[in-house]
Amino acid sequence: MLADLLRLLLFFEIFAYVFGTFMLTRWLHVSVMGAMTLLLCFSITLRIGGVGVVYLFGYFHRTLDQQPLVWDMPALLKTLLRESCIIGLLEWTGAFPSLFMRKDARKIVAAHKETNKLTPFLLVHGYAGNRGVWWWLKPRLESQGYPVATVTLEPLQGDIDGYTEQIARRVEWLRTELKADRIILVGHGMGGLACLAYLRRYGEDHVERLITMGTAHAGTTLLHLHPGWGRNLRQMSVNSAWLNDLKDFFEEMPLVIPYVILHGLHDLLMNPVETVTMKGADYRAITGLGHWEMLVSPRVLESMLMVRE
C-alpha cells in the first residue's frame, strides 16, 4: 500500500520535472541544464522546508517548556540537512523495497547455518514506513553474522494493536525457519510501540530482548501539527487513552526481558523529552542524531551489537 503510494508520488514528481523543464525552456528560453538545476534547487528547498517546519516547532516548543536544549543552532541546521537527505532516500527505498532489500528467507537460513545459531533479529519499522527503511541497517547486521528478518505493517492508518498479529506471524515464521527459541525485537518510532503491544498481547516467551529507537513511549506533542490522519497517529499523541493503557499495563506487569532504549538527542519528534523513557529500561542517549538518521547510523549499529555482548 505505502510502496504503491510512494511510487505514484515519485511518478508525479518526475512528471513535474519534465513538464517544468519544458515550460521553462519554451516560455522563458532557459537552457535545459539551467531549467533542471532550477527545478532541482526548488525541490530540495521544499524538502528541507517541510522537515524544517517540524524541527523548528520542536526546537521552540522545548524552549517554551523550559526543557534543556542539547544543541545549538548550527547543530540543529546540520541535523536538519541530514534528515532531509535521509527522508529523500527513504522515499525511494520505500517505493521500491524489493530493489533495495533482499528477501529474508534465503539470507536468514544461510546466516543461521554459518553463525552457530545466533539469536535472530526482527526489525519493525515506524509510521509511514515499510521494510525498505532497513536498507542500510539490515545488511550490516547480517555482515556481522546475525540472521535478520523484517516486516511491513499494514494498513498505513491502522490500529497499533492490529499490527501485533502481523508481528506474531513474522516471529513464528522466523522461529520455524531457524528452529530458534527466541528472537530479538527491534522497533523504530511507532514500531517500538507495536513491539510493546505485541509483548502485552502475546507475552515474552519467544523474545530474548527488546530494542527501540526513537520511540515516544508517552506520546509526542508534534502530532498536533498533523491533521490526525490515521488511528495510529491519534494513539501516539500525548495523553492518549491507548498510551495510558499501555503504560498502566507495563507498570503493573513490568517486562522481564532486557529492554534497551536508543535515543537520538537531536530527535525533535520526542516532545517532551521525557516521552522517550520507560521505567525499568536501559536508556542510552546518542548525541547528534535525528529521528530518521538513527536508521543509517553506525553508532546505532554499534549500540545494538554492544547489547548482544
Question: 19-30: per-residue pLDDT in tens?
Answer: 777 777 877 777
| 25: Cα within 13 Å, side-chain hemisphere | 14
The answer on pLDDT for 205 being more than 90 is yes
Inter-CA distances, 280 with 124, 261, 283, 306, Å: 22, 10, 9, 19
Rounded CA-CA distance 136/139 in Å is 6
How is residue 220 annotated by DSSP?
B
At residue 114, the pLDDT reads: 53
Q: Which domains does the chain have, with CATH numbers?
A: 2-97 (no CATH), 99-307 (3.40.50.1820)
Instruction: Name the pairing type of β-strands 282-286 and 259-264.
Output: parallel
Q: Which of 231, 171, 239, 237 is nearest to 201 (CA)?
A: 171
Residue-wise pLDDT for 235-282, tens only, equals 998 888 999 999 999 999 999 999 999 998 888 788 777 788 888 899
- Name the pTM for this structure: 0.88
Residue 213 near residue 187, CB atoms below 8 Å: yes
| CA distances in angstroms from 171 to 89, 122, 159, 167, listed in the order given | 28, 7, 19, 6
Predicted confidence at residue 58, as pLDDT, reads: 67
Between CA 29 and CA 114 the distance in angstroms is 61
Burial class (CB in 10 A: 0-12, 13-18, 19+), 64: exposed
pLDDT of residue 71: 57
